[in-house]
């Protein structure tokens, strides 16, 4: 009797376990054996919640875990092995080499999912490997930062990098009572925004008591007695620190796939088709390790987000299980909150639109998030970018307070469907004084931009 076909999943978080779960829904344990290999200590957890764990908004690491290995085995007959790192993939022999608690071994597969995620940028500079310098890519990283804060009670934190994770960690440290400095090499924090919108984020952070140092690149971490003491920059800055957090962004972790001979795209992510199939038969890839199709720029992109990872894993699992599904790309939507300030963006910013070859027009406006007479109305800044002549929406950005950021979903929907700003200006959006002015800011901005584009 032939052995059951075996699916091996490399990576036990969002994409990997979504793929495993979807494959199981379509093929029972008698038809498909599923083994997931995860190098960390946990499966299926919310990496996006790590800053809130550090800031104690989320009380416990267990609150971020959706399913444990025991639950996967009990409910889905999926064997998930944590503390097991895959070190090589042999696509000709159809086996992976892994190192686990019992040492090194090989695992055969008939079908393989690569979901190795992304790896953070960690500069090869003096002191960046010192005790007290942390990245926050995994839940283990988050618990390690929390333990350091409890054990050493630091007073001063320096965050290197002003992107989403960097600023969310700045908020976490601020919530814990630390003095916080953010060092970023760009002209303004939040480099995925245009500088004029990033300047609003900087101003809001400074009002909260965060020192923001832009246009400076960190060059070294000073260490004394085995502990970090300061971050030095190329502008001569020296910023005292008891703890340093790296928020310099991530890149697709394509190392296993590249060494195995899989095709890698221009972004550094594993190249896949819409069904998440790689260039090698019976090998799928999903999550932060792959490159995706950007529906606005029409070019490959590498965007690390749990929302995409879960969708891609679902598509891969359906395909493995004999069904049919497609991942139709992204428009680059992202939101975050830094203390009371909400930040959102979708599509292309001005630099990205220029790089993609678009001629464009923009409009920037300020409006209230609710009817002006309704208690709690807060100002919000909204920016839209549209293609010149055609009026097709290319992107949008929002910086505001409560009730502002989720308006980005209206813009993302318009982008997904290739809408013209003139059509957008007439959309039937919900209205009531607690939620919006009678003319929603999205409608006003779309109308103003339509007037500019179409005259």
Q: CATH number for the domain including 25?
A: 3.50.50.60
> Which domain CATH number covers 393?
3.30.390.30
99 within domain boundaries: yes
Are 289 and 406 contained in the same domain? no
Model pLDDT, residue 93: 97
Query: Is 98 inside a domain boundary?
Result: yes
Residue 2 has pLDDT above 70, yes or no: no
Judgement on whether residues 133 and 238 belong to the same structural domain of the protein: yes
Q: Is 215 helix (H, G, I), strand (E, B) or coil?
A: coil
What range defines the domain where residue 278 resides? 6-118+251-320
Positive or negative, the CA dihedral 64, 66, 68, 69 is negative
Same domain assignment for residues 178 and 242: yes
Same-domain status, 264 and 295: yes
Is 300 in the same domain as 242?
A: no
DSSP per-residue letters across 78-144: EEEESS-EEEEEETTTTEEEEEETTEEEEEE-SEEEE---EEE-----TTTTSTTEE--SSHHHHHH
Whether 334 is in a domain gets the answer no
The answer, yes or no, to whether residue 455 has pLDDT greater than 80, is: no
Domain end residue (candidates: 186, 215, 248): 248
Task: Name beta bridge partners: 379.
Answer: 368
77 and 151, same domain (yes or no)? no
Same domain, 235 and 258: no
Distance CA 295, CA 297 (A): 6
CA separation for the pair 175, 52 (Å, rounded)? 10
Same domain, 131 and 239: yes
Summarize pLDDT for 411-443 with one digit per residue, the tens.
Answer: 999 999 999 999 999 999 999 999 999 999 999
Per the annotation, the verdict on 48 as an active-site residue is yes
pLDDT band at 95 (very low <50, low <70, confident <90, very high): very high
**Phi, psi values for residue 125, rounded to 5°:** -130, 160
In a domain, 327, yes or no: no
**Cβ contact 377:368 at 8 Å:** yes
Same domain? For 298 and 230 the reply is no
pLDDT tens, residue by residue, 159-183? 999 999 999 999 999 999 999 999 9
Number of folded domains in the chain? 3
Q: What are 245's strand-pairing partners? A: 134, 159
Q: Note whether residue 256 is domain-resident.
A: yes
pLDDT at 1: 43
DSSP 8-class letter at 345:
E
- The pLDDT, as a whole number, for residue 3 is 78
Which one, of 407, 399, 403, 406, lies nearest residue 202 by Cα?
A: 399
349 and 446, same domain (yes or no): yes
Query: Three-state secondary structure along 359-397?
Result: CEEEEEEEEECCCCCCCCCCEEEEEEEEECCCCEEEEEE
* pLDDT at residue 225, as a whole number: 87
Q: Which residue has the higher pLDDT, 145 or 402?
A: 145
Boundary-marking domain end, from 248, 273, 298: 248
Give the tens place of pLDDT for each residue, 333-376.
999 999 899 999 999 999 999 999 999 999 999 999 999 899 99
Show which of 320, 352, 370 is a domain's final residue: 320
Q: Has residue 128 been placed in a domain?
A: yes
98 phi/psi in degrees, rounded to 5? -135, 155
**336, part of any domain:** no
Dump pLDDT digits (tens) for 269-279: 999 999 999 99
402: confidence class by pLDDT, cuts 50, 70, 90: confident
pLDDT, tens digit, for every residue of 182-191? 999 999 999 9
Rounded average pLDDT over 281-286: 98
User: Which one of 48, 245, 289, 339 is the catalytic residue?
Assistant: 48
Same-domain status, 161 and 244? yes
Percent of the chain with pLDDT over 90: 96
Note whether 34 and 175 are same-domain residues.
no
């Amino acid at each position: 009797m032939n052995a059951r076909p075996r699916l091996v999943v490399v990576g036990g978080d969002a994409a990997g376990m979504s793929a495993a779960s979807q494959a199981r829904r379509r093929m029972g344990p008698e038809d498909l054996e599923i083994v997931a290999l995860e190098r960390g200590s946990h499966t299926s957890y919310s990496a996006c919640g790590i800053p809130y764990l550090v800031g104690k908004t989320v009380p416990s690491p267990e609150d971020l875990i959706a399913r444990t290995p025991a639950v996967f085995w009990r409910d889905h007959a999926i064997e998930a092995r944590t503390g097991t790192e895959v070190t090589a993939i042999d696509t000709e022999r159809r086996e992976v080499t892994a190192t686990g608690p019992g040492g090194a071994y090989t695992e055969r597969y008939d079908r393989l999912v690569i979901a190795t995620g992304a790896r953070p940028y960690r500069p090869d500079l003096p002191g960046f490997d010192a005790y007290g310098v942390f990245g926050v890519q995994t839940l283990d990283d988050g618990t390690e930062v929390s333990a350091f804060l409890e054990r050493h009670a630091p007073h001063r934190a320096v965050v290197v990098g002003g992107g989403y994770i960097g600023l969310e960690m700045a908020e976490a440290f601020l919530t814990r009572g630390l003095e916080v400095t953010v060092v970023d090499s760009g002209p303004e924090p939040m480099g995925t925004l245009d500088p004029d919108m990033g300047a609003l984020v900087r101003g809001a952070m400074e009002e909260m008591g965060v020192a923001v140092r832009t246009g400076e690149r960190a060059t070294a971490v000073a260490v004394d007695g085995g502990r970090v003491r300061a971050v030095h920059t190329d502008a001569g800055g020296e910023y005292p620190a008891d703890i340093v957090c790296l928020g310099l962004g991530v890149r697709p972790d394509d190392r296993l796939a590249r060494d195995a001979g899989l095709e890698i795209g221009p972004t550094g992510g594993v190249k896949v088709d819409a069904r998440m199939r790689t260039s090698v038969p019976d090998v799928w890839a999903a999550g932060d390790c792959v490159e995706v199709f950007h529906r606005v720029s029409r070019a490959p992109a590498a965007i690390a987000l749990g929302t995409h990872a879960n969708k891609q894993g679902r598509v891969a699992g359906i395909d493995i299980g004999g069904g049919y599904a497609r991942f139709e790309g992204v428009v680059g939507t992202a939101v975050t909150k830094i203390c009371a300030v909400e930040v959102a963006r979708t599509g292309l910013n001005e630099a990205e639109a220029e790089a993609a070859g678009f001629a464009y027009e923009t409009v920037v406006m300020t409006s209230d998030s609710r009817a002006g007479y309704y208690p709690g109305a807060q100002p919000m800044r909204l920016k839209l970018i549209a293609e010149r002549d055609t009026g097709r929406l290319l992107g949008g950005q929002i910086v505001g307070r409560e009730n502002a950021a989720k308006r980005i979903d209206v813009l993302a929907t318009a982008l997904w469907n290739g809408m013209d700003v003139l059509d957008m200006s007439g959309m039937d959006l919900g209205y009531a004084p607690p939620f919006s002015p009678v003319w929603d800011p999205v409608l006003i901005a779309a109308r103003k931009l339509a007037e500019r584009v179409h005259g």
